[in-house]
Amino acid sequence: MRLADCLVQADIHTLQAIARHYQFSCALYSKNEMIQEILHHFRINPQFQLEQTAQEYLQNPIYARLALHKTGFFAKEEIQAMFQSNPTDSLDLQEAISRGWLIPIRKYNGDTIYVLPDELREHLLYSVIDQMREKLVFHEDDENISLDKTSVLSDLHTFLQYTERHQVQLTVNGSIYKRQLTQILELMSTPEEIPVESWRFGYGRRFHDYPDRFALLYDFSYFTGLLEEQEVGQLIINSSHPWLQKGNHEQLQSLFEFYIRSYRRPLPRLPLILSLLIHLSESWVREDTVYEVIQHFLSDFYFDSKEQVWKQRILQMLHYLGIVHLHQETFSDSIHNWFQMSKLGLQLLLGDIKLSEEKIRPNATLHVHPNFEIVISSPTHPFFVELGRFAEMMESTESYLRFRITEQRVQDGLAAGYSLSDWLERLSKQTALAIPGNVERTLQKWSNRGIQKEVKSLIED
């Protein structure tokens, strides 16, 4: 929406706030005079009084979040959450309104939306991107650099075909037996080792059991219904699934969207970073210089440092998916890693991929770990009471509470008349991350065992 249209629909209090901020001499009781004065002022000041320094553009994520928004229309809750999460005091919502950056408009149904005028959004985007690009080191296009082509789709089909032609057996925790998993990984075009770390969690349902790339392929197949984990301990394929009939581009798009949905739960700024990469990596760019300008949008995630999050969870996964090309140059005393957005990446990111940031619930500080432990931030968490139905408290500190799910606690909860399936459904809505697959499957087994005991008891009576 253009600035003039925004001002016409704004109420008089908003116009007065803008007029006072810029110390206009017009009558503050006349909407028409204030609108004319504001338009005249902004017309002769095309920079819209963007008084921020280059460092503020780089360090404060709110400028990039505003500039990269596709429509410029923000719901009241969305814009309030954005400013509440602002890590600095350099800009607040009321100041943004007074400057004319955001115009609150009341809709016919009574709801208020906040509009970023098109003129400002364009200038803000150029300002943010230009300040970032000044910090980057670019590489001239070189025909001698071999562009790796994505094979993730063919590997996914290879895995599905293997499942169709072999009886893939699952352990009691629901993971593929090591012997068959090794065979499957050897068929993949990208070599991966079976993980040995005990603290792998957060990036998917089976991230604990499988290496990064294969874990994504497995979780995608499971959640889309391509694969089914049978209770008898066998993995089977749904050979009539409609996804198999789609073209390559549609299949890749759905896989990429799944990556975004899965990884933006632990990395809530992932959509923002992907939007930035469209503008920063159309040419070969040095990876460490990009990290320097986007690190303020990243945070540590448990055992992953910010740099590991960038290299392993974002850049490497984008390479696996064919969204970026990677290139390494070795010098006598250093190694430089470069990357470039691929044509496929641009097509997907500029197409129908949804890059809106996920709304982070303020109380979503609840994590379920593969070792059956649940960690929450405080006893005021809305799920605190319900946790005790199937989990027992193990530790309580000022900063967190630790619970553990045990079979005995599950049996006690079932005996008390609580529904484990309902509890799991509500738990999945409260947790910031996916419930690990081994926890999910084991709980189902414990539940079935409890039902069998109950039936046996009824028969004996």
Domain of 8, CATH number, reads 1.10.10
- Co-location of 399 and 315 in the same domain: no
Distance CA 450, CA 399 (A): 35
Distance CA 278, CA 198 (A): 35
C-alpha closest to that of 45 among 68, 21, 27, 29: 21
- Co-location of 111 and 237 in the same domain: no
pLDDT one digit per residue (tens) for the chain, 461 residues = 898 999 999 999 999 999 999 899 889 999 999 999 999 888 766 554 455 545 565 667 788 888 888 788 999 888 888 887 665 555 688 888 998 889 999 888 888 999 999 888 888 888 888 889 999 999 877 666 656 666 899 999 999 999 999 999 999 889 999 999 999 999 998 889 998 866 778 899 999 999 999 999 999 999 999 999 998 899 999 999 999 999 998 999 999 999 999 998 889 889 999 999 999 998 999 999 999 999 988 989 888 899 999 999 999 999 999 999 998 888 777 888 999 999 889 888 887 666 655 444 444 478 888 888 888 866 677 787 888 899 998 888 766 788 899 999 999 988 888 899 889 888 888 876 788 888 888 888 888 876 556 545 544 55
Question: pTM score, two decimals?
Answer: 0.81
Are 313 and 303 spatial neighbours (Cβ–Cβ below 8 Å)? no
- Co-location of 141 and 129 in the same domain: no
Length of the chain: 461
Range of the domain at 440: 366-460
- Co-location of 153 and 67 in the same domain: no
Compute the half-sphere exposure of residue 442: CA atoms within 13 Å on the CB side of its CA: 17
- Co-location of 380 and 455 in the same domain: yes
Q: What is the DSSP letter of 405?
A: E
- Co-location of 350 and 237 in the same domain: yes
- Co-location of 20 and 150 in the same domain: no
- Co-location of 349 and 392 in the same domain: no
Of the residues 133, 153, 187, the one at which a domain ends: 133
Of the residues 357, 391, 423, the one at which a domain ends: 357
The widest CA-to-CA distance across the chain, in whole angstroms, is: 91
- Co-location of 205 and 142 in the same domain: yes
Q: Which two tokens stand for residue 404?
A: 């553990």
Of the residues 82, 109, 133, the one at which a domain ends: 133
Are 319 and 339 spatial neighbours (Cβ–Cβ below 8 Å)? yes
Q: How many domains does the chain have?
A: 3
- Co-location of 257 and 395 in the same domain: no
Distance CA 21, CA 16 (A): 8
- Co-location of 414 and 450 in the same domain: yes
- Co-location of 182 and 296 in the same domain: yes
